[in-house]
């Protein structure tokens, strides 16, 4: 199985030259490959410990190996896959105690992001938050897991853009997919789409209304729920 390698950016003579930006079309394919693979991992179509290969994924998805490789590199940074040099690529396992440690960090940053987004969002972004709140409401009413997952991903991405804080963005980008995968796995046992969707809708609506205090409060309530949800999995396993 091919090893993931970064592109060599050394110019003749050994000096390092600036890496070239990929063409827009190549970047779009990488984003597409990432989005598809991330959803496959989060929704357990690629379950923990599954062994994957660039060649197989490329053929399955109809996307070239270079975009697949770059998507897998990003997934490795987010700890959804593990790259073992000269041995292969494995989907990472789910660890409840690790998830609880992640939530300790996520709670603080999530509150900051919610407050910042409520303060900094443009009018266009606020309209999008209102639309996402309506999407969460629909997912709750229909008990639609797939719609909830996709709306949640769009909501997370918009929050990071609207918060205008690159450091929070870098930290949260490493947590969201792991959190969604854990939720998806656990939800199969307890089926809590409506409650989760309504709590997310409250955060989105507060941001849409430029309500900083309400966004922070709703974020804390959401994280209270997620932490309880996670601890219940630990108790079940004990």
What CATH number is given to the structural domain containing 46? 1.10.10.10
Please identify, among 91, 118, 143, the residue that sits at the C-terminal boundary of a domain: 91
Residue 69 in any domain: the answer is yes
Which residue segment(s) compose the domain that 185 sits in? 96-237
| 169-210 pLDDT tens trace | 888 988 888 888 887 887 666 668 999 999 999 999 999 999
CA angle (26 as vertex; 72, 24 as ends), nearest 5 = 130
- Per-residue model confidence (pLDDT) at position 189: 66
The pLDDT of residue 138 is above 50:
yes
- Per-residue model confidence (pLDDT) at position 188: 65
The pLDDT of residue 14 is above 50:
no
- Per-residue model confidence (pLDDT) at position 116: 98
> What's the total number of domains in the chain?
2
69 lies in the same domain as 178 = no
- Per-residue model confidence (pLDDT) at position 191: 62
The pLDDT of residue 13 is above 50:
no
CA distance 179 to 220: 16
- What predicted TM-score, i.e. pTM, was given to this entire model? 0.72
73 lies in the same domain as 123 = no
- Per-residue model confidence (pLDDT) at position 229: 83
Please identify, among 74, 91, 108, the residue that sits at the C-terminal boundary of a domain: 91
58 lies in the same domain as 102 = no
- Per-residue model confidence (pLDDT) at position 190: 65
- Per-residue model confidence (pLDDT) at position 17: 43
Q: Answer whether 224's CB lies under 8 Å from 143's CB.
A: no
């Amino acid at each position: 199985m091919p090893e993931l390698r970064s592109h060599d950016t050394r110019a003749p003579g050994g000096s390092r030259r600036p890496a070239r930006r990929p063409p827009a079309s190549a970047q779009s394919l990488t984003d597409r490959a990432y989005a598809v693979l991330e959803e496959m991992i989060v929704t357990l179509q690629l379950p923990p410990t599954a062994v994957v290969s660039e060649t197989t994924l490329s053929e399955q998805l109809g996307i070239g190996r270079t975009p697949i490789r770059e998507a897998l590199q990003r997934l490795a940074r987010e700890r959804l896959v593990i790259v073992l040099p000269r041995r292969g690529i494995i989907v990472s396992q789910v660890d409840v105690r690790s998830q609880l440690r992640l939530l300790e960090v996520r709670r603080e940053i999530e509150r900051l992001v919610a407050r910042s987004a409520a303060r900094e969002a443009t009018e266009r972004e606020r309209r999008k938050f209102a639309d996402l709140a309506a999407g969460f409401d629909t997912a709750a009413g229909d008990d639609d897991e797939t719609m909830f997952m996709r709306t949640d991903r769009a909501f997370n991405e918009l929050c990071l853009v609207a918060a205008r804080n690159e450091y929070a963005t870098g930290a949260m980008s490493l947590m969201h997919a792991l959190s969604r995968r854990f939720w998806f796995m656990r939800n199969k046992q307890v089926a809590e789409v409506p409650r989760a969707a309504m709590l997310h809708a409250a955060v989105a609506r507060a941001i849409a209304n430029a309500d900083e205090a309400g966004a922070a409060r709703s974020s804390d309530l959401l994280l209270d729920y997620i932490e309880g949800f996670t601890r219940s999995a630990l108790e079940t396993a004990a």
